[in-house]
């Protein structure tokens, strides 16, 4: 059977696509199957999922098209209308090989409960230079604008030893950087008997030599003193923290159901930036949330101005069916939400430039990811995207020491330093 897995959405979805690719590569039988790992985080994500299903049905008329994942739980009817032959939700996603075989043989399959996360393992290599390692699923934060927690099931964490064995396999598959991901990493371990913290998990992972680790995103409540100490002490834990903010106004944060205040967010961010060598910050902001007036938006801008994030992901609020926020009064007009988003984009470019300029003349460790025109391009440990002239004899997937020599609005240039500084091998 020829199997193609298409992933939309977040890193967790990308990891699961790899998992399904590996599990389905030995699927018996003739023919072609396209699996779409769908996303339902926004109305746009739903549209993209439907569009891809319809496109595959149109372009591959003889193939079986299967829609799985968050969209399958959150927007099932639309996927069936788009032509999906089979729609499989998150609870059953990991059992897709059995479900597909039963479907192809016309045999009904009994439903089962949510699988343990340690059963979900990949061996790699991933198609990209950076590997993904899913260690957590589910969320109980229940933010009022969010659908994800409604479709991702109960909290489930991968025990540290199981995660370490998987990281070992990914290192042996040739990956030098592993991105640790989950739906809400701040809730890692809460469901496990020993309740290991995220810091405990990372200490276990750091016992695998030859790789560095990066966290996808972490809510402020997840940045514990123990984790901050580990970031400060361990160079193989990439000093970049992507910490969703959403709003800089306490009244809006409360209406969103977030677990922190603007002051707490600021304190966590500043403690990270001051305690961790070469640290940089990333943030998510949701503009146009119901009740966000001009003063509230100004507080968001003021907070970000004080923190100067390297990366800022700006989302415009879109009401999601079945979420409490969709019923809130004080809707912000679309034009005004667009204006606020545009204002933040301009500021975000200025903040990113200022942060990158601070690293001029600094030695950083670049993961070489791809060739782009006359450049090798990749990301440093603190997540600067850097280009190195192709004249340098580099190889994709290696980590090389570079000095930042030029920073412009859309580009940072590095030169390779001729001293061996591969952060992966040196024991911590
Ligand atoms: S923390 Fe909030 S936004 Fe994130 S998955 Fe949980 S409910 Fe959704």
- Assigned architecture for domain 2-105: 3-Layer(aba) Sandwich (3.40)
Take atom 4 of ligand 1 and give the residue whose Cα is closest.
Answer: 184
- For the record, the structure tokens of 403 come out as 């000095």
pLDDT, position 422: 44
Tens of pLDDT, residues 264-282: 999 999 999 999 999 999 9
So where are the chain's domains? Answer: 2-105, 117-358, 363-416
Q: How far apart are CA 300 and CA 291, in angstroms?
A: 14
Distance, CA 147 to ligand 1 centroid (Å)?
8
pLDDT at residue 180, rounded to an integer: 98
Q: Decide whether any atom of ligand 1 lies within 6 Å of the 382 Cβ.
A: no
Structure tokens at 251: 């009244």
Average pLDDT rounded to a whole number, residues 338-351? 98
CB-ligand 1 contact for 150 (6 Å cutoff): no
Taking Cα atoms as reference points, which of 324, 300, 291, 318 lies closest to residue 246? 300
Q: Above 60 in pLDDT, residue 424?
A: no
pLDDT tens for 14-72 read 999 999 999 999 888 889 999 999 999 988 999 999 999 999 999 999 999 999 999 99
Choose the residue to mutate in 11, 148, 258 for probing ligand 1, maximizing ligand atoms within 8 Å of C-beta: 148
Q: Please, which residues have CB within 8 angstroms of residue 211's CB and are 6 or more apart in sequence?
A: 167, 170, 171, 175, 176, 177, 178, 236, 424
The top-level CATH class assigned to 363-416 is mainly beta
Please, which pLDDT band fits residue 428 given cuts at 50, 70 and 90?
very low
Residue 364 Cα to ligand 1 midpoint, Å, equals 33
Work out the average pLDDT over 303-320.
96
% of the chain beyond a pLDDT of 70 = 98
Quickly state the pLDDT bin for 423 (edges 50, 70, 90). Answer: very low
Round the average pLDDT of the chain to a whole number and report it. 95
Whether the CB of 183 sits within 6 Å of ligand 1: yes
42 CB near ligand 1 (under 6 Å): no
User: Residue 419: which pLDDT band, with cuts at 50, 70 and 90?
Assistant: low
The rounded distance, in Å, linking the Cα atoms of 167 and 162 is: 9
Query: What pLDDT is stored for residue 229 in this prediction?
Result: 98
Which residue puts its alpha carbon closest to atom 8 of ligand 1? 146
Q: Which three-class secondary structure state does DSSP give residue 196?
A: coil
- What is the tens place of the pLDDT at every residue in 184-226? 999 999 999 999 999 999 999 999 999 999 999 999 999 999 9
184 CB near ligand 1 (under 6 Å): yes
Distance of CA 49 to the CA centre of its chain: 18
pLDDT in tens, 72-91: 998 899 999 999 999 999 99
Please say if the pLDDT value at position 426 is more than 50: no
pLDDT at 425: 40
Give the containing element (helix H, strand E) for 204. helix 198-205
Residue/partner pairs of 349-355 with CB below 8 Å, 24 or more apart: 349/409, 351/304, 351/305, 351/308, 351/309, 351/310, 351/312, 352/309, 352/310, 352/311, 352/312, 353/407, 353/408, 353/409, 354/308, 355/280, 355/308, 355/309, 355/310
Q: Which whole-number Å values give the CA distances from 110 to 73, 113, 118, 152, 157, in the listed order?
A: 18, 10, 22, 20, 25
Burial of 219 (0-12, 13-18, 19+ CB in 10 A): buried
Residues sharing a CB contact under 8 Å with residue 110, sequence separation 6 or more, in sequence order:
none
Sheet strand arrangement including 311-316: 240-242, 280-287, 311-316
CATH architecture of 117-358: Alpha-Beta Horseshoe (3.80)
Q: Is the CB of 41 under 6 A from ligand 1?
A: no
């Amino acid at each position: 059977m020829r199997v193609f897995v298409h992933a939309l959405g977040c890193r967790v979805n990308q990891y699961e696509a790899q998992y399904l690719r590996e599990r389905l590569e030995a699927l018996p039988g003739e023919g072609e199957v396209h699996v779409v790992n769908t996303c339902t985080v926004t109305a746009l994500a739903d549209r993209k999922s439907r569009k891809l299903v319809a496109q595959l049905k149109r372009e591959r008329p003889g193939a079986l098209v299967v829609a799985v994942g968050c969209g399958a739980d959150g927007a099932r009817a639309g996927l069936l209308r788009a032509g999906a032959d089979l729609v499989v939700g998150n609870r059953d996603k990991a059992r897709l090989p059995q479900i597909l075989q039963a479907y192809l043989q016309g045999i009904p399959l009994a439903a089962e409960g949510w699988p343990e996360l340690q059963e979900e393992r990949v061996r790699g290599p991933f198609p990209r230079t950076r590997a993904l390692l899913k260690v957590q699923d589910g969320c109980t934060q229940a933010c009022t604008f969010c659908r994800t927690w409604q479709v991702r099931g109960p909290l489930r964490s991968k025990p540290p030893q199981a995660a370490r064995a998987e990281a070992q396999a990914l290192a042996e598959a040739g990956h030098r950087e592993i991105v640790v991901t989950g739906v809400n990493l701040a809730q890692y371990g809460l469901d496990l008997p020993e309740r290991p913290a995220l810091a405990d998990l990372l200490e276990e992972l750091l016992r695998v030599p030859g790789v560095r680790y990066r966290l996808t995103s972490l809510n402020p409540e997840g940045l514990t003193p123990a984790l901050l100490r580990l970031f400060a002490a361990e160079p193989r834990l990439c000093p970049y923290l992507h910490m969703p903010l959403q709003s800089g106004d306490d009244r809006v944060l409360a209406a969103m159901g977030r677990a922190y205040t603007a002051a707490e967010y600021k304190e966590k961010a500043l403690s990270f930036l001051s305690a961790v060598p070469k640290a940089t910050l990333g943030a998510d902001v949701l503009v146009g949330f119901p009740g966000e007036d001009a003063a509230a938006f100004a507080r968001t801008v003021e907070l970000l101005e004080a923190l100067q994030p390297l990366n800022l992901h700006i989302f415009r609020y879109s009401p999601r069916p079945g979420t409490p926020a969709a019923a809130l009064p004080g809707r912000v007009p679309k034009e005004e939400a667009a204006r606020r988003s545009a204002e933040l984009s301009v500021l975000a470019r200025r903040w990113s430039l200022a942060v990158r300029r601070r690293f001029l003349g600094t030695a950083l460790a670049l993961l070489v990811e791809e060739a782009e025109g006359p450049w090798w391009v990749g990301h440093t440990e603190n997540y600067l995207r850097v280009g190195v002239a192709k004249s340098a004899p580099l190889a994709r997937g290696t980590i090389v020491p570079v000095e930042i020599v030029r920073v412009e609005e859309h580009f940072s240039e590095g030169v390779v330093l001729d001293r061996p500084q591969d952060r992966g091998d040196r024991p911590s």
